[in-house]
């Protein structure tokens, strides 16, 4: 209490930061989809048959993508589309170049009723930073 009396601005900043952290963590827990680290993805693919959807532009996908992933550009992405139609109860992992487009797509899948939705945290950039292999060309 003595600190708060002597440093009201610092105390207020501490309370504000604490509330922001609590809000962020609660929102993360309630969003319904899970982030994956690059090292976790191969196990999900091999043990649970996860469908990996790469939301990169076609040219970027052909330059390098995760083996076994399927390409859909964000404009083609549709939770009701042919590629995703049979995957409502299966794990679906969304990947993009940096992790931004995949989080938006993950939100759409959860709203559409998909049960196991994941996104690759950091995207293809994080995958490469973890020294994991990419394949070139069309899937």
pLDDT at position 83 is 87
The answer on 23 and 72 residing in a single domain is no
Name the nearest CA neighbour of 139 among 39, 37, 66, 47.
Answer: 66
137 domain-assigned:
no
The answer on 42 and 13 residing in a single domain is no
Percent of the chain with pLDDT over 90: 60
Q: Please name the residue ranges forming H helices in 49-87.
A: 58-63
Specify whether 106 is catalytic.
no
Q: Which domain holds residue 93?
A: 33-129
User: Across-strand partners of 70?
Assistant: 53
pLDDT at position 133 is 94
User: Is residue 62 within 8 Å of residue 136, measured between CB atoms?
Assistant: yes
The string of pLDDT tens digits covering residues 20-42 is 989 877 776 667 788 899 999 99
Name the nearest CA neighbour of 37 among 136, 132, 126.
Answer: 126
- Domain of 87, CATH number, reads 3.40.250.10
Q: Is the pLDDT of residue 64 over 90?
A: yes
The string of pLDDT tens digits covering residues 81-117 is 888 988 888 999 999 998 888 988 998 999 898 989 9
What is the Cα–Cα distance from 6 to 71, expressed in whole angstroms?
58
What is the Cα–Cα distance from 138 to 43, expressed in whole angstroms?
23
Residue of 36, 51, 53, 96 marked active site: 96
Q: Is the pLDDT of residue 3 over 90?
A: no
121 domain-assigned:
yes
The answer on 62 and 13 residing in a single domain is no
Our count of domains for the chain comes to 2
The answer on 108 and 40 residing in a single domain is yes
The answer on 108 and 42 residing in a single domain is yes
- Cα-based distances in Å from 78 to 7, 35, 67, 105, 116: 53, 20, 22, 9, 16
The answer on 26 and 38 residing in a single domain is no
pLDDT at position 33 is 85
Average model confidence (pLDDT) across the chain: 90
């Amino acid at each position: 209490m003595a600190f708060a009396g002597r440093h009201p601005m610092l105390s207020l900043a501490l309370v504000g930061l604490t509330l922001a952290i609590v809000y962020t963590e609660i929102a993360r827990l309630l969003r319904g989809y899970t982030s994956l680290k690059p090292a976790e993805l191969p196990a999900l693919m091999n043990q649970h048959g996860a469908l990996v959807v790469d939301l990169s532009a076609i040219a970027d996908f052909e330059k390098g993508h995760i083996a076994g992933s399927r390409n859909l550009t964000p404009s083609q992405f549709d939770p009701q589309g042919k590629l995703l139609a049979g995957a409502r109860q299966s794990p679906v992992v969304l990947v993009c170049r940096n992790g931004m487009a995949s989080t938006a797509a993950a939100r759409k899948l959860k709203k559409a009723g998909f049960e196991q939705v994941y996104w690759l945290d950091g995207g293809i950039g994080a995958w490469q930073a973890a020294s994991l292999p990419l394949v070139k060309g069309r899937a």
